[in-house]
Amino acid sequence: MKEIIELSSKTITIGRNEFLKVKGSVDTNVYYVESGSLRIFVLDDEEERTIRFGYGENLIVSLDSFLTGKPSELFIQAIKKTVIKVVTKQQIEKFLETESNKNLWMKILENLVIQQLEREIDILTSSPKERYERVLKRSPQLFQQIPNRHIANYLRMSAETLSRLKKS
């Protein structure tokens, strides 16, 4: 991943609650979160549904838009002040001109796909307790980086239920 981050020639800072990307926009950048935290969400009948988080030392991307070059349904919003390194699709395409770099990029993409599959399993798991335990086991640092209300939304449960599960 270090090789991807080193491609960046631009660092940006976005303030708490500011949007990095909004629904309907095309975004072909990959972002490396140096500090702070972000959430990716969609609107479902005007209700926000958090589908992913990014925080220190994570890559975050609007993968659908990155791969297709088309507008996405996703929003990316800062949860707190966030410093991000920006890597453009053009920088990545140039990087991919060598075979070893292609292999590295494939590993990064495979990891993103696996994370997305884990997320789908989390959503389909019926018990709130099971969803909580799966995420706690997979990403314990999430609970230090992200406010409970966003984690509860991600886990598709009320903040009260999350609080109760954390105490038990």
In a domain, 125, yes or no: no
The reported pLDDT for the residue numbered 68 is 95
C-alpha of 81 from chain center:
16
Q: Which residues contact 24 (CB under 8 A, 6 or more apart)?
A: 71, 72, 73
Domain tally, the chain: 1
33: part of which helix (H) or strand (E)? strand 30-44
- Please check whether residue 165 lies inside any domain of the structure: no
The whole domain housing 74 covers: 2-97
Q: At what angle do helices 159-167 and 128-138 cross, to 10 degrees?
A: 70
**Residue 123 pLDDT exceeds 90:** no
At residue 46, the pLDDT reads 87
The per-residue pLDDT for range 41-97, each reduced to its tens digit, is: 999 888 999 999 999 999 999 999 999 999 999 999 999 999 999 999 999 999 999
Average the pLDDT over each of 8-17, 49-58, 113-122, 155-164 and give the range with the smallest value: 113-122
Cα–Cα distance, 64 to 26 (Å, whole number): 9
**Residue 155 within any structural domain of the chain:** no
Cβ atoms of 8 and 115 within 8 Å: the answer is no
Structural domain contains residue 164: no
**What percentage of the chain carries pLDDT values higher than 90?**
85
Query: Would residue 67 count as lying in a domain?
Result: yes
pLDDT above 90 for 121? no
Residue 125 has pLDDT above 80, yes or no: no
Task: Say if 50 falls within a structural domain.
Answer: yes
* C-alpha span between 96 and 85 (Å, rounded): 19
pLDDT digits (tens, 9 = 90+) for 129-142: 999 998 999 899 99
Q: What is the CATH number of the domain that holds 92?
A: 2.60.120.10
Confidence of residue 124 (pLDDT cuts 50, 70, 90): confident
Residue 31 lies in a domain: yes
Mean pLDDT of the chain: 93
Residue 7 resides in a domain: yes
Please classify residue 33 by burial: count the beta carbons closer than 10 Å to its beta carbon, then call 0-12 exposed, 13-18 middle and 19+ buried. buried
pLDDT on residue 88: 97
Determine the average pLDDT of the residues in 104-123: 90
